[in-house]
Amino acid sequence: MPFSGLSERVAAIRETVGAAVKRGGHGQHVEIVAVTKTYGPEAVEAAWQAGLTTVGENRVQEALDKMAQVTVPVRWHLIGHLQRNKARHVERFDLVHSVDSVRLAQAVDEVGERRARPVPVLIQVNTTGEETKGGFSLTELADQVSVLGALGGLEVRGVMTMAPLGADEAMLRRAFRGAREAREVLQRHGLDAPELSMGMSGDFEVAVEEGATMIRLGTILFGARD
Ligand SMILES: *Cc1c(COP(=O)(O)O)cnc(C)c1O
């Protein structure tokens, strides 16, 4: 049986998350996004059987292929970089975590305007100055928040971040607190933006302590990817 023991792992993760919420003191609800990238449709089915109702994919085409092959009614989140010329595919997702530039926001906005229903998105931020990673810095976000907020085809639900690879705990906390500040920038602008998507298999405990409302877990659920 593929992914055996998944339910038990989910139960253990939920306990860890519950303890981290207590320690962190933010009192938030935490949703687990099961990251099924590189795994086949059977990983999506297994996630559903284990009580995980949201899956995350980082590539549009891989996600569309998988959507065509599963029957369980999971919610699909796009968590990876989206090219503007693929923006129309956001219609197939319940949430796009990775709006990392104004130009992409505008392309997604057009989709929302055209269908007359705003596209739910998170704004990806990179608050530690890591060169290789996309996303808004805090200064850029403060500069652009009125532009983002004025896009009627977008429903800005919050912020997403990825901590630098191999970061120590101090750096992790800096990255996650930066994302929380970014969410405050959105909220001060009047946006109803409750979500903080941060934390992966290696750092989700710290992320939850810092207020994560969505954690994106792959390896810890399904095993190492090739
Ligand atoms: C792959 C991926 C994850 C999950 O990473 P794990 O370390 O396997 O938990 C989370 N977020 C994004 C954006 C990813 O691409």
Q: Would you kindly state where each structural domain of the chain is located, as residue ranges?
A: 6-222
User: pLDDT tens digits, residue range 13-37?
Assistant: 999 999 999 999 999 999 999 999 9
131, pLDDT greater than 90: no
pTM of the model: 0.97
User: pLDDT tens digits, residue range 87-114?
Assistant: 999 999 999 999 999 999 999 999 999 9
Structure tokens at 70: 């599963």
Helix axes 102-115, 138-149, angle to 10 degrees: 20
Please list, in sequence order, all residues whose beta carbon lies within 8 angstroms of the beta carbon of residue 85, skipping any fewer than 6 positions away.
none
Q: How far is the CA of 200 from the centre of ligand 1 (A)?
A: 6
1, pLDDT greater than 70: no
Give the pLDDT confidence score for residue 64 in this predicted structure: 98
The listed CATH number (3.40.50.80, 2.40.50.140, 3.30.470.20, 3.20.20.10) that belongs to domain 6-222: 3.20.20.10
Which mutation among 58, 196, 222 tests ligand 1's pocket best, with the greatest number of atoms within 8 A of CB?
58
| Residue 28: strand, helix, or coil | coil
Which mutation among 37, 215, 216 tests ligand 1's pocket best, with the greatest number of atoms within 8 A of CB?
216
| Residue 86: strand, helix, or coil | helix
* Cβ count near 223 (within 10 Å): 12
132, pLDDT greater than 90: no
Please list, in sequence order, all residues whose beta carbon lies within 8 angstroms of the beta carbon of residue 199, skipping any fewer than 6 positions away.
176, 205, 206, 207, 208, 212, 215, 216
Q: What is the mean pLDDT of the chain?
A: 96
d(CA 164, CA 82): 20
Residue 201 CB less than 6 A away from ligand 1 = yes
- What kind and span of H or E run contains 195? strand 195-197
Give the pLDDT confidence score for residue 133 in this predicted structure: 76
Rounded alpha-carbon distances, angstroms, from residue 183 to 63, 83, 126, 173: 27, 24, 12, 15
